[in-house]
Amino acid sequence: MNLADLVAAILFAGVVAYALFGGADFGAGIWDLTAGSAEGGGALRARIDHSLGPVWEANHVWLIFVFVYLWTGFPHAFVAIMTTLVVPWAFVGLGIVLRGAAFAFRKFSATIGEARVFGAMFAVSSVVTPFFLGAIAGAVASGRVPAHGRGDHWTSWTGPTSLVGGVLAVVTTAFLAATFLAADAERAGDTGVARSIGARALGCGVVAGAVVLAGVLPLEHDAPELWDGLTGRAAALVVVSALAGLASLVLLARGRYAIARYAAVVAVGAVVIGWGVAQYPDLLAGELTIDDGAGARPTLWGLVLVFAVAALTVVPALVWLLALVDEGRLDGREAHQGEPHVN
């Protein structure tokens, strides 16, 4: 592995982390949208607030990480992606800002009506944002982002692979979040919420599998290089994802939520890694390779050094935070923040 490949691997590790942690974060907002009335969905919304409260800002650090490594390590790819896909990126940025603001302000709403407005903003943004992120990934994977960065602002992200990617992103984030929420509710002794959201996770997992199968049909013609990679060098990862997905569904059906979430992580993580392996050595499918798009060697070495320092300082702190959340040691601290302060 040369230096450019190493930096690309570090960059893609951030993509995988954001797909898992940020994905579960977005998915929780989707379930907030479908929780039901204020009375009927109150317990699930409270569980969502308690689960997201300690980590929702940390989850999106990975997106900043990816941006920084992309624009410094591979500036040509960054320019091409940002200029060609400016429209979906605008929706992503707007969705993230509105979602974060709504999640924070909802807790301190002066009236029920105000809380509902912020809740709707939070939930709708949680659907819109992952859809456009998936569409961006589909545009890159299908070769619709030219290396010169002057691709069509509309057709570049509205092809079949982008649409499948967008829908799959929404469904898989919902699946991840529901599985995590079921395990969290079970740990907290809230069996009613655990069973309810666990059943939704099971249904969502089935839908995700159906979307994957349906997405195979246009992929061979719309993104032939990705198709060749997925059926070639990344085939083992596709199989791992399928097996882990089936295992998670069986575990959810049996009410083994704590174990099911690990299988769900493997299923989603394997398919995202499979995308990277299938597209290698291209940064932009059919347009720009890792070596051709890499920045100056001193810059690449600087990125490796920064990653090494972060791996020794920031990553352990994030792992500790997630461990505390998993053990429920932050629930009590966040509980008073989870419900609107309505006069």
* pLDDT tens readout for residues 192-215: 889 999 999 999 999 998 988 888
Give the Cα separation of 226 and 51 in Å (integer): 36
Q: What SS3 state is found at 323?
A: helix
Sign of CA dihedral 317, 332, 254, 25: negative
Question: What residues are paired with 282 via a beta bridge?
Answer: 289
Model pLDDT for residues 168-181, shown as the tens digit of each residue: 999 999 999 899 99
Give the Cα separation of 123 and 45 in Å (integer): 11
Give the Cα separation of 234 and 219 in Å (integer): 15
Provide the percentage of residues in the chain whose pLDDT is more than 90.
57
Residue 110 pLDDT level (bands cut at 50, 70, 90)? confident
Give the Cα separation of 121 and 112 in Å (integer): 14
What phi and psi, each to the nearest 5 degrees, are found at residue 289?
Answer: -90, 170
Say if residue 120's pLDDT is above 90. no
Which residue is it, tokens 């302000």?
A: 105
Residue 123 and residue 173 in contact, taking contact as beta carbons nearer than 8 Å: no
Average pLDDT of span 143-161? 92
Question: What residues are paired with 288 via a beta bridge?
Answer: 284
Give the Cα separation of 43 and 37 in Å (integer): 11
Say if residue 326's pLDDT is above 60. yes
What phi and psi, each to the nearest 5 degrees, are found at residue 160?
Answer: -55, -40
Return the biggest CA–CA distance within the chain: 61
Q: No. of H helices and E strands in the chain?
A: 16, 2
Model pLDDT for residues 248-292, shown as the tens digit of each residue: 999 999 999 999 999 999 999 999 999 999 999 999 998 999 999
The CB-side HSE value for 175 (13 A sphere, CA atoms) comes to 32
Model pLDDT for residues 216-244, shown as the tens digit of each residue: 778 888 998 899 999 999 999 999 999 99
Nearest Cα neighbor of 196 from 56, 36, 20, 27 is 36
Token pair for 76: 């040509």
Q: What is the pTM of this model?
A: 0.88
Q: What is the overall mean pLDDT for the chain?
A: 87
Q: In this structure, which amino acid lies at residue 16?
A: V
Give the Cα separation of 225 and 215 in Å (integer): 15
pLDDT of residue 327: 66
pLDDT of residue 204: 92
pLDDT of residue 133: 96
Which residue is it, tokens 């919902």?
A: 174
